[in-house]
């Protein structure tokens, strides 16, 4: 009786590893292409893919629940964020992505429920109009289902900073949905 749970635990770990490797093998072209597109060098692309795989090991349970098309998207977006982080780390002056959002005046507090009244399509269009950093942080939270501390760790900032950024992104989004075209 004793060895059974032990064996199951070991098998579970092995299964996770094989699952992730199978996903990587299936989608490696998209992953490397995404990484190359951002980093422009094979070495940096490899680093970004490696970082993404490390990040994905923390999300195995979530990945297992996703349908295959979403698994591919999850891998691609994870690589994208890792590549952007890598660029940010290597080139802090690059304002494209450094994990920190610039200080911007807070948008006027939007009225409550504006997002709940908007459809998915409108929200999607509005997210696409957000500044890139805000858009990516929204994807981290709502697509990669990362918690504040996970986002903070990945971006190298404090969890409090992440909360501020997310609130600001949501406010900008709500302002856009209210028709304030130049909200962000």
Partner 1 sequence: MNREENLLRKACEEIAEEETEALRREMDLPSVRQIDALYRRHQKTVSALLDAQFKKRFGMKRFLEIAACLALLMAAGAAAFRNRPEPTPLSPGVTASVLPYYTQSPTPEPTVTPEPTHSPTPQPTITPAPTPFPTEAAEPASAAAGFPTPFLDPTNIPTVSPTDAPVLTSGGIPVPTSWRGAYFPDYLSWGLEVTGAGANDEQAMVILGSTSRPDVITFTEYFSARSLPAAGDEASYVPLNGVLALRETSAEGVVTLTWDQDGRTFRLTAEEDYADGIEKMAASLQKISE
Q: Which residues bind partner 1 (CB under 8 A)?
A: 1-2, 5-6, 9-10, 13-14, 16-18, 20-22, 24-30, 32-34, 36-37, 42, 45-46, 49-50, 53-54, 57, 68-70, 72-74, 76-77, 80, 113, 115-116, 118-120, 123-124, 127-128, 135, 138-139, 141-143
**Shortest Å, Cβ 182 to partner 1:** 21
- In the chain the first and final C-alpha atoms are separated, in Å, by 61
Nearer to partner 1, 28 or 95 (CB): 28
CB of 144 to partner 1, least distance (A): 9
Nearer to partner 1, 120 or 179 (CB): 120
- Compute the least distance from the CB of residue 6 to partner 1, in Å: 6
Q: Residue 154's closest CA among 86, 94, 92?
A: 86
Would you say 69 or 103 has its CB closer to partner 1? 69
Rank residues 22 and 92 by Cβ distance to partner 1 and give the closer one: 22
| CB 99 to partner 1: min, Å | 19
Closest separation in Å from C-beta 8 to partner 1: 9
């Amino acid at each position: 009786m004793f060895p059974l749970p032990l064996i199951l635990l070991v098998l579970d770990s092995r299964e996770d590893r094989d699952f992730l490797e199978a996903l990587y093998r299936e989608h490696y072209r998209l992953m490397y292409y995404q990484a190359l597109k951002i980093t422009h060098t094979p070495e940096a692309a490899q680093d970004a893919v490696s970082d993404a795989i490390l990040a994905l090991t923390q999300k195995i349970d979530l990945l297992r629940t996703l349908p295959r098309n979403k698994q591919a998207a999850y891998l691609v977006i994870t690589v994208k964020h890792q590549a952007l982080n890598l660029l940010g780390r290597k080139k802090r002056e690059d304002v494209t992505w450094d994990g920190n959002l610039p200080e911007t005046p807070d948008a006027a507090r939007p009225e409550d429920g504006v997002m709940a009244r908007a459809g998915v399509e409108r929200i999607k269009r509005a997210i696409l109009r957000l500044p890139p950093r805000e858009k990516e942080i929204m994807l981290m939270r709502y697509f990669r289902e990362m918690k504040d501390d996970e986002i903070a760790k990945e971006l190298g900032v404090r969890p409090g900073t992440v909360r501020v950024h997310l609130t600001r992104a949501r406010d900008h989004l709500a302002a856009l949905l209210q028709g304030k075209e130049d909200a962000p």
